[in-house]
Chain A
Amino acid sequence: MNQDHPIIRTENLKKIYGSGEAQVNALDGITLTIQQGEFVAIMGPSGSGKSTLLNILACLDRPSEGRYFLDGIEVSQYSRRDLALIRGRKIGMVFQSYNLLPRLTALENVLLPIFYRREQRLSAEEARQRALAMLESVGLGDRAHHYPNQLSGGQQQRVAIARALVNDPALILADEPTGNLDSHASQEILELLQNLHAQGRTIVLVTHDPEVAARTERILLIRDGHLISDQSNDRRQPLVTPLASAQRTEPTVEAHHDR
């Protein structure tokens, strides 16, 4: 991976829904930079625009205005097709509800992103080996031929993480990855993400849970479409609620709450 540029760089990202009276600015100028190897949490109350931001960062959506550079490539105006291709190549997504395909085994679910890969296609056997290795790396080598409904929630989420990793993406985006899990399984998943971070992966997760956010290195706080806090998170210190400490605003973000 190229070290010269950040993994994520956005310039004044805006997302506007509707027009005229009914116009809603879901994102109202977000500028942020995430470097290679960072572990970042995006927090914010519901309706704050954090999901919209995640969708744009995940290349599932396009900003109305502003620019988004993913791994040095400007993708803001990509077509649907190009966005799909860049998703497959650069992004591994983890969802709250795992989103495994129930008809496929764990192994086949992990193979799915390889199936849609356009460049450096692997032979069937290579792909299988790679998917199996990914399952082993999340501790599920012995569950490769189980179907999702034969796995616990935590195990399903680990399969989903293996799937996110299988194309060796530049960025892992996790949307409430522990939202459906009990505390024990949540701990396992968070440890797994921390291990991946320790291996040098860049991870951005969206959460409303301060405990989850506390496991990351940096917390971005979104409210009303603005980035109102960007704070590095020293894990040796006791947990500070990000909302309480949301004083320091990013200088590039305009603060206008006149809506």
Chain B
Amino acid sequence: MIAEILREAWRSLRANKLRSLLTTLGVIIGVAAVIVMMAISAGTEAAISESIYSLGSNLIFISSTFSRVGPGERPQSVGGLVYDDVAAIREKIKGVAGVTVDQQASVTIRRGDITLEGVTLLGTTADYPVVRGLSVASGRYFTNTEVERVQKVAVLGKTIAEKLFGDEDPIGQTITVNKTQLTVIGILAEKGLVAGTDFDQIVYTPIKVVFQKFTPSQFARFMGNRVRQITVAVEPHANIDQVVEQITLLLVNRHNVSLDSPDFNIRTQADIIKARESTTATFRNLLIWVASVSLLVGGIGIMNIMLVSVTERTREIGLRQAVGATPEDIQIQFLTEALVLSLLGGLIGIGVGIAGSYLFGMVSGMRTVIVPYAIGISFTSAALVGVLFGYLPARRAAGLDPIVALRYE
């Protein structure tokens, strides 16, 4: 019986192929839109959290919050993180795998007849590779002693090393950075592009070298040994909340500020991901609303066409009633047609959506991830649309008086 009803519905939809297809267009677009948009937002989300995690795991970011100053006022000399906080955290907090701080400058590098302009020179402490998840391919990273002694050494990113030295072994060689000569002591393993930073295109050097040689003097004077951000890597099994609490207490103490208005701000990686996710969730909800409107319009299209169909087929309805179809039979027939129409649109929409997601990913270079529950949601709402908007036309068909219907021209 069900098979026969479905076949009946399929047949009458096939009788008007173009019209049926155009009718389902709204649903197709709605469903495809849901899937593509969910794929884009899921892809973006995955890319974001992946890049945040690939900075290194279990990170705590401490940043300075300077007290607000009005225009023309001199910033207060107190407040904010200082370079010595790094050493304090490393020594006094348990469960810390590494603490680093960095200061960067844009420099020109020369070696022989090769000149590279606009290279990022990154001053760090010895813990930097641990915190950022970098590993040394050959040679070694500099030590904290070398940082304190302002040793003019450099560790090269993989790409920079290749550009400057080609096949030669760079260890022990000298490069000229602006006007300062640095000795290469190590090469990092390939890391690639992470969160918009290409770690292979960077020259690493002790942070105090950057402070002394590569920071514009005015800025250096103003900043003193103040730093903007300290990054702490927590040991894998340590309780990150406890570490945050200890650091907070330590810094409040050191800076002599109250807990209620600290001059720094501590965020964990999880906080950042959560914040990002809430942004993408807002975006996603908006997209879902847009897609819902599209589905609604699609549903109205189906209702419209079904009403036309009922009018066109008045005689058929009359005849079916004359040969024994009850009002429910007629209602079920038209409801089934609307449902088949919308499910068909749903299926095509899923196909279009999946293909569209891949295509969009390929063309735009953005990552897209097909979300299974998006397919489920959109297909279910397509079915719902069919039942909802098929109901009125089906009721109208079922309510036709067979005598009037049989005489309808």
Residues of A within 8 A of B (CB): 55, 58, 60-61, 80-81, 84-85, 87-89, 93, 95, 99, 101, 103-104, 112-113, 115-117, 121, 124, 163, 167
A116 contacts B320, CB within 8 Å?
Answer: yes
A87 contacts B12, CB within 8 Å?
Answer: no
* Chain A residue contacts of B325, Cβ below 8 A: 84, 88, 116
Once A99-B315, A99-B319, A101-B316 are accepted as A-B contacts, the answer to whether A84 and B324 lie under 8 Å apart by CB is yes
What is the distance, in angstroms, from A45's C-beta to the closest C-beta of chain B?
Answer: 19
Once A88-B323, A112-B323 are accepted as A-B contacts, the answer to whether A103 and B15 lie under 8 Å apart by CB is yes
Once A101-B316, A101-B319 are accepted as A-B contacts, the answer to whether A116 and B324 lie under 8 Å apart by CB is yes
* Chain B residue contacts of A101, Cβ below 8 A: 316, 319
Q: Out of B1, B322, B328, which one reaches A60, CB within 8 Å?
A: B322
What is the distance, in angstroms, from B32's C-beta to the closest C-beta of chain A?
Answer: 30
CA distance A32 to B327 in the complex (A): 30
B324 contacts A60, CB within 8 Å?
Answer: no
Is B190 an interface residue, CB under 8 A from the partner? no
CA distance A101 to B327 in the complex (A): 18
* Chain B residue contacts of A61, Cβ below 8 A: 403
Is B326 an interface residue, CB under 8 A from the partner? yes
B323 contacts A80, CB within 8 Å?
Answer: no
Once A99-B406, A103-B15, A116-B329 are accepted as A-B contacts, the answer to whether A87 and B322 lie under 8 Å apart by CB is yes
A115 contacts B319, CB within 8 Å?
Answer: no
CA distance A124 to B1 in the complex (A): 10
Q: Beta-carbon contacts of B384-409 to A below 8 Å, as 1s and 0s?
A: 00000000000000000011001000
4 nearest A-B pairs in the assembled complex, by CB-CB distance: A88-B324, A116-B324, A84-B326, A113-B323
Once A103-B15, A116-B329 are accepted as A-B contacts, the answer to whether A58 and B320 lie under 8 Å apart by CB is no
CA distance A113 to B328 in the complex (A): 15
A103 contacts B12, CB within 8 Å?
Answer: yes
What is the distance, in angstroms, from B100's C-beta to the closest C-beta of chain A?
Answer: 76
What is the distance, in angstroms, from B3's C-beta to the closest C-beta of chain A?
Answer: 9
Nearest B residue to A124, CB-CB: B4
* Chain A residue contacts of B124, Cβ below 8 A: none
CA distance A201 to B119 in the complex (A): 102
CA distance A163 to B323 in the complex (A): 9
Q: Given A112-B320, A124-B4, list of 18 further CB < 8 A pairs?
A: A55-B403, A80-B327, A81-B326, A84-B326, A84-B327, A87-B322, A87-B323, A88-B323, A88-B324, A88-B325, A95-B406, A99-B315, A99-B322, A103-B11, A113-B324, A115-B4, A121-B1, A163-B323
Is B231 an interface residue, CB under 8 A from the partner? no
A81 contacts B15, CB within 8 Å?
Answer: no
Q: Which among A60, A61, A81 has the highest number of chain B CB atoms within 10 Å?
A: A60
* Chain A residue contacts of B403, Cβ below 8 A: 55, 60-61
CA distance A121 to B320 in the complex (A): 17
CA distance A165 to B291 in the complex (A): 52
CA distance A112 to B8 in the complex (A): 11
* Chain B residue contacts of A117, Cβ below 8 A: 324
Q: Beta-carbon contacts of B1-23 to A below 8 Å, as 1s and 0s?
A: 10010001001100100000000
What is the distance, in angstroms, from A122's C-beta to the closest C-beta of chain B?
Answer: 12
A60 contacts B323, CB within 8 Å?
Answer: no
What is the distance, in angstroms, from B62's C-beta to the closest C-beta of chain A?
Answer: 75
CA distance A80 to B331 in the complex (A): 14
B322 contacts A85, CB within 8 Å?
Answer: no
Q: Beta-carbon contacts of B314-357 to A below 8 Å, as 1s and 0s?
A: 01101111111111110000000000000000000000000000
Once A60-B402, A115-B4, A116-B329 are accepted as A-B contacts, the answer to whether A93 and B316 lie under 8 Å apart by CB is no
**What are 30 inter-chain pairs, A to B, with CB distance below 8 A?**
A55-B403, A60-B321, A60-B322, A80-B326, A80-B327, A81-B326, A81-B328, A84-B324, A84-B325, A84-B329, A87-B322, A87-B323, A87-B324, A88-B324, A88-B325, A89-B324, A95-B406, A99-B318, A101-B316, A101-B319, A103-B11, A103-B12, A103-B15, A104-B11, A116-B323, A116-B324, A116-B325, A117-B324, A121-B1, A124-B4
* Chain A residue contacts of B321, Cβ below 8 A: 60, 84, 87
A85 contacts B406, CB within 8 Å?
Answer: no
CA distance A245 to B327 in the complex (A): 44
What is the distance, in angstroms, from B6's C-beta to the closest C-beta of chain A?
Answer: 13
CA distance A86 to B15 in the complex (A): 31
CA distance A81 to B15 in the complex (A): 29
Q: Which among B319, B321, B324, B402 has the highest number of chain A CB atoms within 10 Å?
A: B324
* Chain B residue contacts of A80, Cβ below 8 A: 326-327
* Chain A residue contacts of B327, Cβ below 8 A: 80-81, 84
Q: Which among B1, B12, B316 has the highest number of chain A CB atoms within 10 Å?
A: B316
* Chain B residue contacts of A89, Cβ below 8 A: 324
CA distance A55 to B405 in the complex (A): 13
CA distance A124 to B320 in the complex (A): 19
Which chain B residues in 287-334 approach chain A with CB under 8 Å?
315-316, 318-329
CA distance A103 to B7 in the complex (A): 13
Nearest A residue to B328, CB-CB: A81
B323 contacts A85, CB within 8 Å?
Answer: no
B324 contacts A85, CB within 8 Å?
Answer: yes
Nearest A residue to B322, CB-CB: A93
* Chain A residue contacts of B1, Cβ below 8 A: 121
What is the distance, in angstroms, from B61's C-beta to the closest C-beta of chain A?
Answer: 69
CA distance A116 to B322 in the complex (A): 10
What is the distance, in angstroms, from A107's C-beta to the closest C-beta of chain B?
Answer: 14
What is the distance, in angstroms, from A202's C-beta to the closest C-beta of chain B?
Answer: 18
Nearest B residue to A89, CB-CB: B324
CA distance A101 to B313 in the complex (A): 10
